[in-house]
């Protein structure tokens, strides 16, 4: 069963970009290690980091179908910072991987214990929708 693990912790103007080089390197090394571990266990489907929220755009279609873009988001909005897609045998295993990601090191090497949102992925649309 496939799950997506989402890091939703990034707020505009905060977080990782303000860290010093050493902390950033330790954080990235941890993430590379986690991905390697998941590849070895055969559970890795994909993982990506997203660019910072200042580059995010919100798009709607205008009447003629042309995109109307907006870069203004509510202050409270949590931006997706990155995600993992894993293929695991049980929901509990997805939670264990999420807990590992949660403990990624932050400034001074202290575990961030950031919340990771865990969601099952639908393998396809429900039959009644096809």
Choice from 80, 87, 105, 107 touching another protein (CB under 8 A): 80
Question: Taking CB under 8 A as the criterion, which residues in 26-65 touch another protein?
Answer: 48-52, 55-62, 65
Window contacting another protein (CB under 8 A); options: 19-27, 31-39, 87-95: 87-95
Q: What span, in angstroms and rounded, lies between the C-alpha atoms of 125 and 66?
A: 28
Is there binding between residue 4 and another protein (CB under 8 A)?
yes
List b or e across 47-81, with b for residues whose CB sees 16 or more CB atoms inside 10 angstroms: beeeeebeebeeeeeeeeeeeeeeeeeeeeeebbb
Phi, psi of 2, rounded to the nearest 5 degrees: -100, 140
Count of residues engaged in binding another protein, rule: CB under 8 A: 52
Of 20 and 122, the one with the shorter C-beta distance to another protein is 122
Of 108 and 115, the one with the shorter C-beta distance to another protein is 115
């Amino acid at each position: 069963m496939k799950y997506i693990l989402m890091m939703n912790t990034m707020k505009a103007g905060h977080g990782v970009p303000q860290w010093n080089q050493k902390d950033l390197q330790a954080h990235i090394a941890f993430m590379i290690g986690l991905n390697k571990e998941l590849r070895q266990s055969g559970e890795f489907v994909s993982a990506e980091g997203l660019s910072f929220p200042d580059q995010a755009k919100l798009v709607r279609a205008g009447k003629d179908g042309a995109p109307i873009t907006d870069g203004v988001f509510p202050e409270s909005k949590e931006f997706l910072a990155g995600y993992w897609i894993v293929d695991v045998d049980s929901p509990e295993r997805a939670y264990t991987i999420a807990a590992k990601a949660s403990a990624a090191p932050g400034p001074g090497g202290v575990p961030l214990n950031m919340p990771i949102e865990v969601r099952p992925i639908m393998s396809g649309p429900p039959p009644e929708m096809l």
